Amino acid sequence: EVQLLESGGGLVQPGESLRMSCAASGFAFSSFVMSWVRQAPGKGLEWVSSVSPSGISTYYADSVKGRFTISRDTSKNTLYLQMNSLSAEDTAVYYCAKRDPIGHYDLWGQGTLLTVSS
Amino acid sequence: YVLTQPPSVSVAPGQTARITCGGDKIGSKSVHWYQQKPGQAPVLVVYDDRDRPSGIPERFSGSNSGNTATLTVTRVEVGDEADYYCQVWDSSGDRPVFGGGTKVTVL
């Protein structure tokens, strides 16, 4: 089955770190750009980060640059997001998504909730 | 690059809903549309302005010209009630850009 399955969300305190994972199955994971997109409670979709198929090139939204690190392990078909120096503004559901070469996202995970609160 | 969507659109069952997405010369870009129901992940309903993924009903269609792209949903059903987001690729920033979303209410 073609799917993405995120894990690793939870409740953390401001300033703490967390790593999210996204397990991919049913498609050639190593061939596609993968991204993280988040959605704060009651808000719209916000792109967070993307990584090239090889994992060499990474891209970040200004709001997370320097704090978040995206990576992928093609041997495990897994995408990661390491998040440091978390603040309340990072509270959101985090989705991993597969990007088609045209530029749209044709596969999304179910999302994992991160809550940053003291 | 900024995409502007109306916050809400209301439509009666069986009628046509039109959701706009405004952006500078958006007609020169490929526009993609997502449907998101409460508590669920987004689902792609139209890509590359007017193409539909398999499994998406023909009632969903898209157009794009000038400074406005439009998602049209004909013969609207109660099950179409959702938030809809447009998205383009911002080549200058090498990143995707999402519109703010439009909540479609079926009266």
Q: Does B8 touch chain A (CB under 8 A)?
A: no
Helix (H) or strand (E) holding B68: strand B68-73
Question: Mind telling me how many Å the CA of B41 is from chain A's nearest CA?
Answer: 5
pLDDT tens for each residue of B25-61 = 999 999 999 999 999 999 999 999 999 999 999 999 9
Nearest one of B51, B96, B100 to A99, comparing CA atoms = B96
d(Cα A34, Cα A46) in Å, to the nearest integer?
15
B91 confidence band (pLDDT: 50, 70, 90) = confident
d(Cα B80, Cα B5) in Å, to the nearest integer?
17
Q: Residue B95 and residue A50: Cβ atoms within 8 Å?
A: yes
pLDDT tens for each residue of B51-84 = 999 999 999 999 999 999 999 999 999 999 999 9
Residues in A closer than 8 angstroms to B56, CB to CB, are: none
d(Cα B3, Cα A114) in Å, to the nearest integer?
26
- Assess whether pLDDT exceeds 80 at residue B93: no
